[in-house]
């Protein structure tokens, strides 16, 4: 499972291996649907929009968010846990202790906020909580393809994949 998110080219502005934690990664997208529908699709339809290339089991995998578990089930019933839901306010917020392809002892934090916007819903996706030093730099580099993944979510709502803005 080591290859998840790791095949991406190193993004510019890669943090140094010093003692500081890398900065948050923040993305924003505007979707033409009510907040409750966007939230429901993000949580309940993960298996329909999450790219198979970003799973451990590839084609035939079933990505899910169920109870407090975020993960995937492979075609043969194998299970991989990607993280744990730490806070949920349906229609407003989903926060995950993210451990996909990383040590469960060093989770990062994924926070997805859903807000009303003129003509739809604004989704603000933040990935933060990196370790300090070299481990944080490795985490930061590993999880660099969120725009591609979130682009698939935008496409699920008929928006161009490049509708994901980096803040």
pLDDT at 10: 42
CB 95 within 8 A of CB 89: no
Q: What is the pLDDT along the chain (167 residues), one digit of tens a residue?
A: 444 554 444 444 444 446 788 999 999 999 999 999 999 999 999 999 999 999 999 999 999 999 999 999 999 999 999 999 999 999 999 999 999 878 788 899 999 999 999 989 999 999 999 988 998 899 899 899 999 999 999 999 999 999 999 99
Q: Which of 15, 43, 18, 22 is nearest to 114 (CA)?
A: 43
What does 107-161 look like in DSSP terms, one character per residue? -EEEEEEEEEETTEEEEEEEEE-PPSHHHHHHHHHHT--HHHHHHHHHHHTT--G
Q: Give the C-alpha separation, 93 to 87, whole Å.
A: 7
Q: Which of 102, 152, 90 is nearest to 127 (CA)?
A: 102
Report how far apart the first and last C-alpha atoms of the chain are (Å, whole number): 29
Question: pLDDT per residue over 72-105, tens digit each?
Answer: 999 999 999 999 999 999 999 999 999 987 878 8
């Amino acid at each position: 499972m080591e290859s998840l998110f790791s095949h991406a080219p190193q993004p510019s502005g890669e943090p140094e291996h010093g003692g500081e934690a890398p900065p948050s990664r923040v993305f924003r997208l505007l979707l033409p649907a009510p907040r409750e529908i966007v939230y429901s699709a993000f949580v309940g339809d993960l298996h329909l929009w999450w790219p198979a290339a970003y799973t451990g089991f590839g084609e035939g995998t079933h990505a899910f968010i169920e109870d407090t578990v975020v993960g995937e089930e492979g075609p043969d019933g194998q299970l991989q846990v990607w993280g744990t839901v730490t806070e949920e306010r349906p229609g407003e917020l989903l926060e995950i202790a993210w451990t996909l392809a990383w040590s469960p002892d060093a989770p990062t934090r994924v926070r997805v906020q859903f807000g009303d916007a003129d003509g739809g819903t604004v989704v603000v996706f933040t990935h933060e909580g990196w370790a300090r030093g070299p481990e944080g730099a490795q985490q930061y580099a590993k999880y660099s393809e969120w725009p591609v993944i979130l682009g698939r979510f935008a496409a699920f709502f008929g928006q161009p994949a490049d509708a994901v803005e980096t803040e």
